[in-house]
Structure 1
Amino acid sequence: MIEVNELTKRYGSTTAVKDLTFTVRPGQVTGFLGPNGAGKSTTLRMILGLHEPTSGTVTVDGRSFADRPRGLRHVGSLLDAHDVHGGRSAEAQLSALARSNRIPQRRVEEVLREVGLAEVARRRIGGFSLGMKQRLGIASALLGEPPVLLFDEPLNGLDPEGVKWVRDLFRRLAAEGRTVFVSSHLMSEMEHTADQLIVIGRGELIAAESLAEFSARGTRPSVTVGTPAAAVLRGLLTAEGAVVGTAGDLLAVTGATAVRIGEIAMEHRIPLHHLSTRSASLEEAFMELTADSVQYLAGDPT
């Protein structure tokens, strides 16, 4: 379990993280979301003791990570896939980590097989693609079989097969009762992977809740309707206070449920060829709820 309590980090006059409080629990995949510059990487580094908080506390299973002498046995992490010695082989990199953390050498071979790098174990890391480096970083995180795992943008550079593999891996680790905390900007993947979400903006907490709860806070669900009497149905729905737009040849309705639309159509003998409800996606909810927290806007000269 990761417990963050009123965590704040300032760099001079800039506040990167402000009064963050949240808990990441075992047995589930928790996504860590926020616009660029929101403070996600700074928060992860404070969890790992790489940055000292200005104020507040963060503990992993009740203790500061810095107090654990064999860190990889307690927390595995991937923060930057490029942060490795390019002149070493994958095997040598993992062996060095194993020795320094008193991890059996057999684990090196096991994790290399698990991440699909066994055949290139003795190749220099400098010749690896970004996707291969990501796999090596995941192997490093898994090396000590830790109960807590942190990943910062682990899907960058992976092909579709690799993305699916990582998704399945995270779910398996959570099913084993581990704490899995994943920062990512790929909303579609978080929608398929995460159980819980921690969402921040400009260093402050926006939400700490289930994925379903967060998505439900976004734009109201819409109902798409297909009918040859679109103009008539539009007038009836508008009179009830619904908002009616178009989606191709279909009506897009918010403010009225599919059941109510069906009732109105039946009362007025309007044939329906299509009727379906569409919930807001995670990406739509995220864009709406973090709109005021975006620091860097496309096309903004500043």
Structure 2
Amino acid sequence: MKILSVSNLNQSFGSRHVLNDISFDIKSGTIVGLVGPNGAGKSTIMKDILGLSDYQSGTITVAGTNTSFQDHRPLKQVGALIEYPGLYPFLTGWDNLKLFATSTANVEKVVSELHMNSYIKKRAGHYSLGMKQKLGIALALVNEPDLVILDEPMNGLDPQSVKDLRDLIKQMAGNGTTFLISSHILSELEKLADDLIVIKQGRIIQHTSMKEMLNRDSHFIILKTSDDRAANSLVVNAGYQVTASQPLTIIESESDEVAKILSLLSENNIEVIDFQHNEGNLEHSLLTVLAEEKV
């Protein structure tokens, strides 16, 4: 079932056309990353979905109902954090949450899940950057929305808080909540997202799965052996693509090639002293896509 559908979205600020025929669908229970260079239009798309910005043409539907700058009713089951959390500094974190929560139980639950108990009764104005960010995330999640839109949610979070948030997002997605997340911390997005929407200069250039995006990148086997020169000759003669001889670096095109190469070296009495398996990563794959795509 589609929880969000964006169709032919166009938007301009004066003479500058910032969104060009943006169209995509998101299924319930998926985690989707929205990525691209600064100024590509990511935050504008999110603001349009949330009715915070007006667009010139196109349609946006949430759970099958049209939403717009003039009509926010379909957004009742949408939670969001865009840019910086909007907090009341003279209220405690708890009271900030109580202003928007539908029940005290919801507040207790999200505070516990994000491990905020030690400071939630303190005034938000005294919070650190990371504490304010967690409170903003808690505000987005407190009413257990069907769709959550997060813009740079990991900003200011320490490593433990990042892991806590990642685990919570995965748990909620497993229970049917949908997430649209924009983040420049690609290593974290790589661990989270099921799908990716890549935007460049206001146009979608890729809408693909995380698995397909990572498969664009070459995987490398890096070896140090007792006789690198002989090992290099062996693997080249066996048909493998070698990109460097010192250290011996081999492009892996099939999942079973590691075992085959190690077996080949062993049969020829070449000892493997060190071994590294360099997997594809989102940063490299994304930069490749952006460089290849002419907009």
1:177 alignment partner in structure 2: 176
Change (3 A) 1:89 1:276: closer
Quote the Cα distance in structure 2 between the aligned partners of 1:255 and 1:167. 30
Q: CA deviation at 1:112?
A: 3.1
Q: Which runs of 5+ in 1 are unaligned?
A: 296-302
User: Is the contact made by 1:229 and 1:270 (CA closer than 8 Å) also made in structure 2?
Assistant: no
Quote the Cα distance in structure 2 between the aligned partners of 1:276 and 1:119. 42
1:128 alignment partner in structure 2: 127
2:77 alignment partner in structure 1: 74
Quote the Cα distance in structure 2 between the aligned partners of 1:120 and 1:287. 40
Q: CA deviation at 1:293?
A: 7.1
Q: State how 1:151-162 maps to structure 2 within 5 Å.
A: 151-162=150-161
1:284 alignment partner in structure 2: 284
Aligned-CA RMSD value: 2.8
Q: What amino acid is the match of 1:230?
A: D
User: Is the contact made by 2:114 and 2:161 (CA closer than 8 Å) also made in structure 1?
Assistant: no
User: Is the contact made by 2:10 and 2:57 (CA closer than 8 Å) also made in structure 1?
Assistant: yes
Q: How many percent of aligned residue pairs carry the same amino acid?
A: 34
Q: Which of 33, 37, 53 is equivalent to 1:35?
A: 37
2:192 alignment partner in structure 1: 193
For residue 188 of structure 1, give the secondary structure of its aligned residue in structure 2. helix
Q: Does 1:87 align with 2:90?
A: yes
Quote the Cα distance in structure 2 between the aligned partners of 1:24 and 1:167. 20
Q: CA deviation at 1:147?
A: 0.8
For residue 290 of structure 1, give the secondary structure of its aligned residue in structure 2. helix
Q: What amino acid is the match of 1:158?
A: L
Q: CA deviation at 1:40?
A: 0.9
1:252 alignment partner in structure 2: 249
Quote the Cα distance in structure 2 between the aligned partners of 1:165 and 1:256. 35
Bigger drift between 124-133 and 269-278 goes to: 269-278
2:209 alignment partner in structure 1: 210
Change (3 A) 1:37 1:155: same
Change (3 A) 1:266 1:19: same
1:26 alignment partner in structure 2: 28
Q: CA deviation at 1:232?
A: 3.5
Q: CA deviation at 1:68?
A: 4.3
Quote the Cα distance in structure 2 between the aligned partners of 1:294 and 1:186. 24
Q: State how 1:224-243 maps to structure 2 within 5 Å.
A: 224-235=222-233, 237=235, 240=239, 242-243=241-242
Quote the Cα distance in structure 1 between the aligned partners of 2:293 and 2:124. 38
Q: CA deviation at 1:159?
A: 1.0
Q: Does 1:59 align with 2:56?
A: no
Bigger drift between 177-186 and 57-66 goes to: 57-66
Change (3 A) 1:120 1:293: farther
* TM-score, normalised via structure 1 length: 0.83
Quote the Cα distance in structure 1 between the aligned partners of 2:253 and 2:168. 40
Q: Which runs of 5+ in 2 are unaligned?
A: none
Q: CA deviation at 1:234?
A: 3.0
Q: CA deviation at 1:105?
A: 4.4
Change (3 A) 1:57 1:14: same
How many residues end up aligned between the 2 structures? 286
1:6 alignment partner in structure 2: 8
Q: CA deviation at 1:171?
A: 0.3
